[in-house]
Amino acid sequence: MPWLCGFTSSTKAFLTSPSLVSFFPTPKPTFPPSSLSASRFPITVRLLSSFSASSLSDGNEDALVGVLSNFSGVRLEETVPIDSVKVRLDSWISSRVSGISRARVQSSIRLGLVRVNGQVVDKVSYNVKAGDEINCEISELRPLKAEAENIPLDIVYEDDSVLVVNKPPHMVVHPAPGNPTGTLVNGILHHCSLPTVEYSNQEFLSDDEDDELKNTSGDHNTSGASVRPGIVHRLDKGTSGLLVVAKDEHSHAHLSDQFKLHTIQRVYISLTSGVPSPLSGRIEVPIGRDSNNRIRMAAIPGANNSKQARHAASRYKVIEILAGGGSALVEWRLETGRTHQIRAHAKYLGIPLLGDEVYGGTKSMALSLLRPRTPSDIHGQLLKLVSGFERPSLHALALGFKHPYTGKNIHFTCQPPPDFAKILGQLRKISTVKPA
């Protein structure tokens, strides 16, 4: 493909095969039912509702699941075991309430809903000690408001029904706890002259995957607005590249259906730590949440469509072998859409993305692969290069979909941003080999 050689051509749109990405200020998300394990709550767990701790064994499981699906009102009363090691308050509570996010616990702490030995503690990093009595109430979900902000956007294509945007790295797609402003949603609300949007405050892992369609579809209160933007899919904060935005409900529904049917064409490129073997292939390994790290997903062999993981399939192809095999430029095409699919599959293959600290693509790993393959006089340059790259080297290069009104297959490509192009150029200077 010509775009792989120097990235000199400008962003362009042209008619080809189907593919897509879409946007609407996220509709009300849903969470899978969660349950509390009696073994993990040896003291007392009770709900601030019509349920009490005794309800756990009174045949009210179905009703209980409904209450716990978003954890609102859940109350934990427990004494820290004598053999416990030093641990942060937010981490300890998260470990005791199965399925809850750390961000949700932190919100509850900051709101003054957590007491330690009878005293309110609002510091999330407070260290609990053996024998401490913890009393925690999980806060209600509170709506966030997305305000229109004049943020420069790289608009690749726009008409009355869809908008295709080139998202820069380090930009969050929509407001969330910790990122209430400066997001792509804020910028699009301003660009499209839309009013403030209110939606549920939920925590997401984020990514470009259709796992999240269930979290980005539904109704939004837009204060009577006749046009409501909607996110059909997302990219991670660190991922750059193409997203499609639906500007009306027909377009949103049409694009959502294309995602569900896997007819959207998505092509990504990445720089990997090492080179995959074989140089091209198909990986079909289920993906689920990593039991050891809640913010990370994991490829879990043998767990297909279970509660722990869902079917996931990716195709990859090495475009260039870089720096004597210390890295590779790899193209990815997704058959399914799972949260962090490319990142989790790359880690499973033993080639985590360069710069992806969460999935093993650490600076030390990159240097351990690059230094033995390069002259010693450029090791200092390598260190500076690798240390300066602060995100997973993943770019959504191409996007294609069927236009929701015209029915035409439209396709877009977008060259990688300067940080990606710079490190690729430096690795090419060391050496580059294109597989036969």
Give the residue numbers marked as catalytic: 236
What's the rounded Cα separation, in Å, for the pair 28 and 337? 20
What's the CA gap between 151 and 153, in Å, rounded?
Answer: 6
| pLDDT, position 266 | 92
pLDDT for the residue 106 = 86
User: What's the alpha-carbon Rg for the chain, to the nearest Å?
Assistant: 23
* Per-residue model confidence (pLDDT) at position 99: 65
Q: Are 309 and 300 in contact (CB under 8 A)?
A: yes
Position 339 pLDDT exceeds 50: yes
* Token output for 189: 């609300």
Give the model confidence (pLDDT) of 311-330 as tens digits: 999 999 999 999 999 999 99
- Structure confidence by residue, pLDDT tens digits, 258-270: 988 889 999 999 9
Please write the tens of the pLDDT for every residue from 175-226.
Answer: 876 777 899 988 988 888 766 666 554 433 333 334 544 444 333 333 323 2
Confidence of residue 156 (pLDDT cuts 50, 70, 90): very high
Residue 353 burial (10 A CB sphere; 0-12, 13-18, 19+): buried
Helix 89-96 × helix 102-110 angle, to 10°: 120
Question: For position 142, what pLDDT does the model report?
Answer: 63
- Which of 126-135, 176-185, 244-253 is predicted most confidently? 126-135
pLDDT-derived band of residue 48, with 50, 70 and 90 as boundaries?
very low
Other beta carbons less than 10 A from residue 237's beta carbon: 18
Q: Report d(CA 191, CA 104) in Å as an integer.
A: 31
pLDDT over 90 percentage in the chain:
46
How many angstroms separate the CA atoms of 361 and 355, rounded?
Answer: 5
User: What's residue 305's pLDDT?
Assistant: 60
Exposed e or buried b per residue across 75-111, where buried means at least 16 C-beta atoms within 10 angstroms of its C-beta: bbbbebeeeeeeebbbbbbbebbebbbbbbbbbbbee
Q: Is the alpha carbon torsion for 275, 280, 285, 287 positive or negative? A: positive
Quick check: helix, strand or coil at residue 33?
coil
Query: C-alpha distances in angstroms, 370 versus 322, 354, 386, 397, 435?
Result: 9, 11, 10, 26, 19
In this prediction, residues 172-177 reach a mean pLDDT of 80
Averaged confidence pLDDT in the chain = 77
Distance of alpha carbon 217 from alpha carbon 200, whole angstroms: 12
Ramachandran angles phi, psi of 205, nearest 5°: -80, -30
What was the pLDDT predicted at 51? Answer: 28
pLDDT of residue 140: 78
Q: Is the pLDDT of residue 366 over 80?
A: yes
Which pLDDT score is estimated for 19?
Answer: 28
CA 290 – CA 376 distance, rounded (Å) = 38
- How many CB atoms lie under 10 A from the CB of residue 112? 12
The pLDDT assigned to 247 comes to 86
pLDDT tens figures, 19-43:
222 223 333 333 333 333 333 333 2
Amino acid identity at 116: V
Per-residue tokens: 231: 């996110």
What band does 86 get if pLDDT is binned at 50, 70 and 90? confident
Give the residue, 337 or 284, on which the prediction is more confident. 284
Residue 174, pLDDT score? 81
Is the model more confident about 194 or about 165?
Answer: 165
The residue with greater pLDDT, 213 or 414, is 414
**Average confidence (pLDDT) over 64-79:** 66
